[in-house]
């Protein structure tokens, strides 16, 4: 091919001319509407993004430029976990420590008609659920019902293991379980509930409706710290003296709040189904006992307040008193005339009986009624014992009650009465509920202030020079009275079974707390020279409690020989003792 032809062949074709205007594409109808909607959405989205970025920018400017420096305010805010809402309210001690609460737990039930092989199912479940036998499960699954409980209040692990078994016909129901974090520390006060959450003892029973409302917690007067101190001290004494039981109470002498209450043996309310009846018995409030010589506190106060006996008087204790077929003796007879103070110091039964005779049967009965010894205490637990009083009230009863026999009361009765004898003479209702701070409840005057002052001096005398010397906690001015009473057995008394107790107050020049320790059937040992009396067994318990609780309550030890202390507790006596002549005893 010639060169000319090649050029002609590869010559570029001319560009096509643009189509005439009449051939342009026009968008009409649905297509145009879709494009318009899309455009509008893009505009709105862009505006929203612009607003968002603008807000972020303004906030950054506020934080970095406008705000003051320093730590974020949220760092200072306390973070309080939201409480778990349950249908039964909590029980707390006076400091807010948890005594009882509720937790949600799964419970296992079955539809026996839907269980394919009851025997195989029972065999498998018995390996997962302790405390229930294979035969028990088979019996439940054989019932002609559509609903039977297998076991309630399971643990999460048990629920997981049952689910792994994959047995048809078994189901879970959400329930509440009452939990007691302190175990047996305050078991007799707090009480417990049954499997359906109904209170059946203690505060749980008394305040069942209030607790069921799920409102505010019920706050008790108990101090859990002090509760542990009392419990440990009593357990130590029970162990040493091989006793069958014990009780202890600490009461605020001004407000009548029970700060500690222990009854031993006790129990774990978390396992209410296996409580021993003896452990369930509340010795502090339900048990009533002849409290022995601790009742001489009331006898002396009664006699002095009546005006028929004076603090400087004296009585013949040279010989036992014989009345009818009974003989009244002294445990350690002095066999001489004793002053009123010496009768208390030496715990003379003979002298106490002669003092009571000055007041008379009607006077004694009226006094015991006035200080609450003849009625059930209005305490906030259902386990409250009714005193056992003689009927008719004869002269022999007058004498024996003067030294703590013939009238049975609970340990809480004793503590309540002693509080009135030393706090200025006012009996206030005891309570297990925390009172408002600074609140002093109204009370009833039962003895004069002067009589109360005399009783404080007499109680100090017992600890300083008498039968209660083992209760002396140096620096804390303990005053108190020992008591040892043989227990009733049939129609008489068992000389080998006794209640040994000590009730004290401190500091005795201005009593703030009343402390009682009672040991049930102690056995003497080598350390106590075979004695198991209140002075040897119970007095040291009170001493231990006082020494441990006083620093905790801000009570500082004092110099017991300081002039101001001696002045407050000195006791002037002019006894009518022809053998020894007049003398002045000082109790400090």
Here the CATH number for the domain that contains residue 535 is: 3.40.710.10
Last residue of a domain, one of 220, 241, 259: 220
Predicted confidence at residue 367, as pLDDT, reads 98
In a domain, 47, yes or no: no
Residue 507 and residue 555 in one domain: yes
Contact between 251 and 513 (Cβ < 8 Å): yes
Do 151 and 252 share a domain, yes or no? no
User: With contact defined as beta carbons under 8 Å apart, do 247 and 281 qualify?
Assistant: no
**Does a structural domain hold residue 131?**
no
In a domain, 574, yes or no: no
Cis peptide bond N-terminal to 378, omega within 30: no
Q: Could you tell me if 492 and 486 are in contact, meaning their C-beta atoms sit under 8 angstroms apart? A: no
Same domain, 381 and 266: yes
Beta-carbon neighbour count of residue 559 at 10 Å?
Answer: 9
Give the pLDDT score at 552: 96
Is residue 274 annotated as a catalytic residue, yes or no? no
188 with 241, same domain: the answer is no
Residue 491 belongs to some domain of the structure: yes
74 falls within a domain = no
Residue in the structure block whose two tokens are 């060169």: 3
CA atoms within 13 A of residue 556's CA, in its CB half-sphere = 2
Q: Is residue 519 part of a domain?
A: yes
Tell me, yes or no, whether 208 and 238 share the same domain: no
Q: Which of 293, 402, 416, 587 is catalytic?
A: 293
Q: Which of 220, 239, 259 is the last residue of a domain?
A: 220
- Do 376 and 454 have their domain in common? yes
Q: Which of 182, 213, 208 has the alpha carbon at shortest distance from 197?
A: 208
Residues 211, 328 share a domain? no
State whether 374 and 456 are in the same domain: yes
Per-residue pLDDT in tens (0 to 9) along the chain, 588 residues: 444 343 444 444 454 444 554 445 555 666 677 777 777 888 888 888 888 787 777 777 675 655 554 434 433 434 434 444 568 999 999 999 999 999 988 999 999 999 999 999 999 999 999 889 999 999 999 988 999 999 988 989 999 999 999 999 999 998 888 999 999 999 999 999 998 889 999 999 999 999 999 889 999 999 999 999 999 999 999 999 999 999 999 999 999 999 999 999 999 999 988 899 999 999 999 999 999 999 999 999 999 999 999 999 999 999 999 988 889 999 889 999 999 999 999 999 999 999 999 999 999 999 999 999 999 999 999 999 999 999 999 999 999 999 999 999 999 999 999 999 999 999 999 999 999 988 889 999 999 999 999 999 999 999 999 999 999 999 999 999 999 998 887 778 888 899 999 999 999 999 999 999 999 999 999 999 999 999 999 999 999 999 999 999 999 999 998 988 888 887 765 454 444 434 333 332
Task: Please return the burial class of 174, using the count of CB atoms within 10 Å of its CB with bins 0-12, 13-18 and 19+.
Answer: exposed
Q: What is the pLDDT of residue 122?
A: 93
- Contact by Cβ (8 Å): 360, 302: no
Q: What is the residue whose two structure tokens read 């129901």?
A: 173
Domain CATH number, residue 151: 3.90.1310.10
In a shared domain, residues 102 and 149: yes
The Cα 507–Cα 320 span in angstroms is: 36
Per the domain annotation, does 9 fall within a domain?
A: no
Same domain, 171 and 237: no
What's 268's DSSP letter?
A: -
Residues 233 and 151 in one domain: no
How many structural domains compose the chain?
Answer: 2
User: Does residue 418 form part of some domain?
Assistant: yes
Containing domain of residue 420, as a range? 228-272+283-569
Return d(Cα 341, Cα 482) in angstroms, integer.
15
How far apart are alpha carbons 521 and 500 in whole angstroms?
A: 8
Is 499 within 8 Å of 290 (Cβ atoms)?
Answer: yes
Q: Are residues 200 and 309 in the same domain?
A: no
């Amino acid at each position: 091919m010639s060169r000319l032809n090649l050029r002609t062949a590869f010559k570029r074709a001319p560009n096509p001319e643009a189509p005439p205007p009449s051939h342009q594409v026009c968008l009409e109808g649905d297509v145009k509407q879709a494009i318009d909607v899309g455009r509008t959405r893009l505009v709105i989205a862009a505006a929203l993004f612009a607003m968002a970025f603008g807000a972020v920018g303004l906030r950054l400017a506020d934080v970095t430029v406008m705000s003051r420096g320093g730590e974020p305010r949220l760092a200072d805010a306390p973070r309080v976990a939201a409480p778990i809402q349950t249908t039964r309210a909590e029980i707390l001690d006076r400091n807010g420590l948890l005594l009882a609460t509720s937790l949600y737990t799964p419970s296992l039930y079955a539809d026996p008609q839907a269980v394919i092989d009851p025997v195989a199912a029972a065999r498998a479940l018995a390996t997962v659920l302790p405390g229930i036998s294979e035969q028990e499960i088979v019996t439940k699954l054989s019932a002609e019902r559509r609903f039977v409980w297998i076991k309630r209040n399971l643990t999460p692990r048990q629920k997981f293991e049952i689910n792994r078994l994959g047995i048809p016909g078994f189901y879970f129901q959400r329930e509440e379980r009452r939990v007691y974090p302190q175990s047996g520390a305050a078991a007799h006060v707090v009480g417990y509930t049954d499997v359906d959450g109904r209170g059946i003892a203690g505060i749980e029973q008394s305040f069942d409706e209030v607790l069921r409302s799920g409102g505010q917690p019920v706050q008790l007067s108990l101090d859990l710290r002090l509760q542990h101190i009392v419990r440990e001290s009593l357990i130590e004494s029970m162990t040493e003296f091989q006793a069958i039981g014990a009780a202890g109470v600490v009461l605020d002498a001004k407000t009548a709040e029970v700060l500690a209450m222990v009854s031993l043996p006790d129990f774990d309310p978390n396992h209410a189904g296996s409580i021993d009846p003896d452990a369930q018995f509340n010795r502090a409030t339900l048990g009533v006992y002849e409290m022995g010589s601790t009742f001489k506190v009331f006898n002396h106060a009664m006699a002095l307040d009546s005006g028929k006996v004076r603090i400087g008087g004296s009585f013949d204790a040279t010989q036992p008193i014989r009345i009818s077929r009974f003989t009244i003796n002294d445990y350690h007879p002095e066999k001489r005339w004793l002053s009123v103070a010496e009768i208390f110091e030496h715990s003379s039964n003979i002298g106490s009986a002669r003092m009571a005779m000055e007041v008379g049967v009607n006077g004694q009965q009226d006094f015991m009624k006035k200080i609450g010894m003849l009625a059930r205490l209005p305490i906030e637990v259902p386990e409250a014992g009714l005193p056992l009083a003689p009927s008719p009230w004869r002269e022999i009863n007058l004498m024996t009650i003067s030294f703590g026999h013939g009238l049975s009361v609970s340990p809480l009765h004793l503590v309540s009465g002693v509080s009135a004898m030393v706090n200025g003479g006012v009996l206030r209702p005891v309570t297990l509920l925390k009172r408002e701070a600074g609140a002093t409840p109204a009370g009833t005057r039962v003895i004069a202030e002067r009589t109360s002052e005399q009783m404080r001096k007499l109680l100090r005398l017992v600890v300083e020079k008498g039968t209660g010397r083992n209760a002396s906690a140096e620096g804390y001015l303990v005053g108190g009275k020992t008591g040892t009473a043989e227990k009733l057995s049939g129609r008489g008394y068992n000389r080998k079974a006794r209640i040994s107790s000590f009730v004290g107050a401190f500091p005795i020049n201005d009593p703030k707390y009343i402390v009682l320790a009672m040991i049930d059937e102690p056995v003497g040992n080598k350390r106590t020279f075979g004695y198991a009396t209140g002075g040897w067994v119970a007095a040291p318990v009170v001493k231990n409690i006082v020494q441990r609780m006083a620093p905790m309550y801000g009570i500082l030890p004092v110099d017991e020989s300081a002039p101001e202390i001696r002045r407050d507790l000195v006791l002037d006596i002019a006894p009518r003792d022809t053998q020894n002549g007049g003398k002045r005893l000082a109790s400090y």
